[in-house]
Structure 1
Amino acid sequence: MSAKTLLPTFAVAVSHMAVQATATAYPADYIVEHILKLSNYVINLAGSSILFGKPELDLYSPSLNTLFDRLQKKQLGPSLLPPGFLTAERIHARIYLRSDQEATGRPLADYVDLYYALVARMQEMRQLLNLRINSGFNIATQLVCEGGPSIAEFHNSLSEYWDVLNNPSCGKALDDAIREARVQALRDELAWQVESDNMSVEDALEQLKQLNSIDVYSGISGLNFVQDWAPTMVGAYLEQKYRHILSLEKEEATVKARQERRQAKVKITREVLPGAPATQKVSDRRRARAARKAAHDASTKARIEADHQCLPKEQASMQYSPEYLAELHPGRHHEEHSAAICKQNIANEDDMLMLLEWQIKTQRVSEYSGYLRARASQESQRAVQSTQGSVTDSFVSSFSSTLPLGGNGGVFHQLDMDYSQYMQF
């Protein structure tokens, strides 16, 4: 096979007419064995090769990986009942149901969605390989992955499995299995309606007779024949089918993970060291917190004092004068009296420590507030003085421009002229 020779297409996919024309069907265990074996092989090969892109890691997307894992975990797919029988409560309750059988022993109807995903994945892989060969990135003799088959050998294996899965006998077995599963779901629904007193026994028996008739059975939808579907169309069909159940499972997993994180956080918070009482650990945490706050307050006070040293001596002394403190903190005597009363009611060391922290914080805020107000007052005075000077200069310059020029080109002034009356505002 030359470098530019593309991989041949697969055989024609099974059709509805071919299934109706055949009289034989493959055994269910034979089809299940091929579906499981090929799905596992394709998933592992795609995960170890770089030719097919990154593997699908979304657990809540109905990809081949997700559907294969759901079968292994005994999870159920969407209900086979018509939409009119389904409610939000019943759809939500289905996500907790599990099959009592292993993957190899489950009914063939449970493999129909995996069959769709597998057939679409086979088509997609052949298209990707042809695209790489046509673009010159690979040739058919190159290995799909390290230690794996070549591209040509892998395509031959896919073609053999494709012929088995698209044989009319395989299609007939899957079509009959899905029809029987839908009829059985309706029978179970009728029995549940009778048990819930929502339907009489006579009405249920009449409905069962209609289900067993040939006309009703032939009208029940069976296998979806995807011979003309692109892989993206198959993916869209599965997305629509699994949209509700996967969305509910994702929400449930999110809530469960949030609760587990919250419980772990509470457990760590309440965890007590071996041999140490809980009260002692709480007291130790308070002392450690108080020590950190004291260190922070000391560093903040040092920075404030350093800033105060940069101020003029008169301004720094003004901030600590009795008149300034009385103006800045009105009612200070009432606060001191209240503090004295509170000190008398303190009964333990922790409360005393908390009060000391509060006093240090209050003193720090007061000192820093005084510092900021003093600086703001000083800057305001400078701004007013500079504004007055600029206004005076502009007035004099504008007034002088209207005077006649002297002999030397300057402004003519009389020595005994008084300009103060023109500078009043």
Structure 2
Amino acid sequence: MSTHSENSANLSPHQRYYLLAWVNAITVLIMVATFVVTGIDVPGRDNCVTRFVDFHAIWGAARLALEMNPIAAFERQTLEQAYSACEQINMFWLYPAPMAVLLTPVGALPFLPAYIGFQVLSLGLLALAVRRYFPKDRTALIAIVFAPAWLPALMVGQFTILWCVGLLAAISAMRQDRHVLSGVLIGLLTLKPTLGLLIPVILLADRRYGTIISAIITTVILHLGATALYGFDYFTTWIAASGSHGASLSTSVTESASMASIAAFATRLGASPALGIAVNMTLLAFAAAALFWIWRKQGAQSDAACAVLCAAIPLSTPYLWHYDAGFSALAAMFIYRAGTQGWHALHWVLLGIVWAGPGITLWNTYFFHLPWVYPTIVVPPVLLIGFAFALWQVKQRPLQPETEKVRNDVTA
């Protein structure tokens, strides 16, 4: 017993942090595995789905795309039949045609292998993307890849992690002035356009005109190719469905405790949905102005500027589910990379809160069971903390061109 204690005491601080990173990673994986076993029904011929997640609808839409009938995914009853829903469920499909094309292989697999494979692919690509920023720091790599902030996206099977992978890869390409590649990656991000409201702002501010042209061409090619495959009716149906859903935004922000936008937070505090959306739009305008100013001065080379972008993205949309708040993990990553000199204990506590993000609510679900800890109440303040912390880093650590160039040459 004493020998074990002595060995623990002999660990260096770096070794202890590395061990803690793995403890967190194992905890995250156990939580996800527990959820898969106890919280999800697997569709089959002889059973129907009562315990469902978003991936049920994604898998159902993929099956319809495999049958060359992707437009049927917009019909809620047909989509529910595709993933064997027992009763009418408030789940829908609102993605453009290129997304249906890319998801076709998912529909060829049984549900459980597709679900697990989707998560493994997401985490694997995230590890590759994050490794570009931490080529020699395994502790930071493990901490970001298995950040608790990803828990909601992992459990429900959403695209958030893959979107973040594309963003990290695009920033890395911009830092190397690879305009075509960064534009292609940003063009792929348009497959979930609600998260990309601020991307044009930073591209214009950083004068990335080649990237803008490449992104536009990529987006056009994606949609023309998918339209040639599925027909123009898919495009018009998608536009109509998106417009109809947008018109009901004032009720959507109050529909679930898993909504995590500033608009939803304001309504829980007593504001009307219209006022909550107005507050959210005001914050969007402020974030856009701040990002334009910061990226015009510092650009993609600045970790602090990238932290502001990642912190602002989930704050920019009034229609934000808790799984899309996982961007807080990227905000924490860039805040950390921007520098920790002069930090006190409070800074590290705040970084931990931002790093955990929406995962805090799942920690509560599994371990603490406090009734007031749910996404609509907890996540928006955490996102605001991340945004304020990132802005503080911009002020504290103005871009030093030569220092940044050395850093990014190492991570290239």
Give the shorter-chain TM-score range: under 0.3
The structure showing larger relative contact order (alpha-carbon pairs under 8 Å, at least 6 residues apart) is 1
Greater fraction helix: 2
Structure of larger gyration radius:
1
TM-score (normalised: structure 2): 0.23
TM-score (normalised: structure 1): 0.23
